[in-house]
Amino acid sequence: MNAVAPESRQRRIPMPVPESHFVIGTKLEPPFPAGLETAVFGMGCFWGVEKRFWQIQGVHTTAVGYAGGSLEHPTYKEVCSGGTGHAEVVLVVFDPDIVSYEELLKVFWEGHNPTQGFRQGYDIGSQYRSFIIASSNAQLMQAQASRTRYEEQLSPAGQDRVTTEIAGASPFYYAEEKHQQYLAKYERN
């Protein structure tokens, strides 16, 4: 694993992000409207993951970023070095009256292979690990219970054990502007 250069450990500033979501048009940063909840999911490369979530009815906004590492406000290059311990993740801000956290967990489990450790398909590295950050104790309990249910379904089918990391509240650091809603900006049909 490559170490982060000493100059990178100096005081860090937040990444500037666009005022609004390229697809939905809502704000990417708090404060968010009252009654909304947040969830953070890592399922491999964050570009496709973000698109999967912004298409769900009841999702107010999404943003890509980094979580689970040792460096404040890392850059994409630093995260990809493998030296910071961050995962590529997606912040999902949602209205629980329209889409439940349990429904978002279903999208999470069915949207990737949570048994691959530090990889998703051909993408290899700790930044691609399966990762859930719960924003409340209720979410933490739901995420842990859903992991158990999912693993119970995989075991009889001869699948490997689930390697998904589940953590309580942890800092989310926004990724660079060019990564926000990347597939909507640059995907060619």
Residues taking part in catalysis: 45
Do 37 and 93 touch, CB atoms closer than 8 A?
Answer: yes
Integer Cα distance of 88 and 37 in angstroms: 20
Integer Cα distance of 104 and 118 in angstroms: 22
Q: CB under 8 Å to 95, separation ≥6 — which residues? A: 35, 36, 37, 58, 59, 60
Integer Cα distance of 175 and 177 in angstroms: 7
The separation between CA 78 and the C-alpha centre of its own chain, rounded to angstroms, equals 17
Q: In 2-58, where do the E strands start and end?
A: 37-43
Give the CB-side neighbour count of residue 122, counting CA atoms within 13 A: 0
Alpha helix ranges (H) inside the chain: 46-54, 76-80, 101-110, 137-154, 182-186
Phi and psi torsions of 123, nearest 5°:
-85, 115
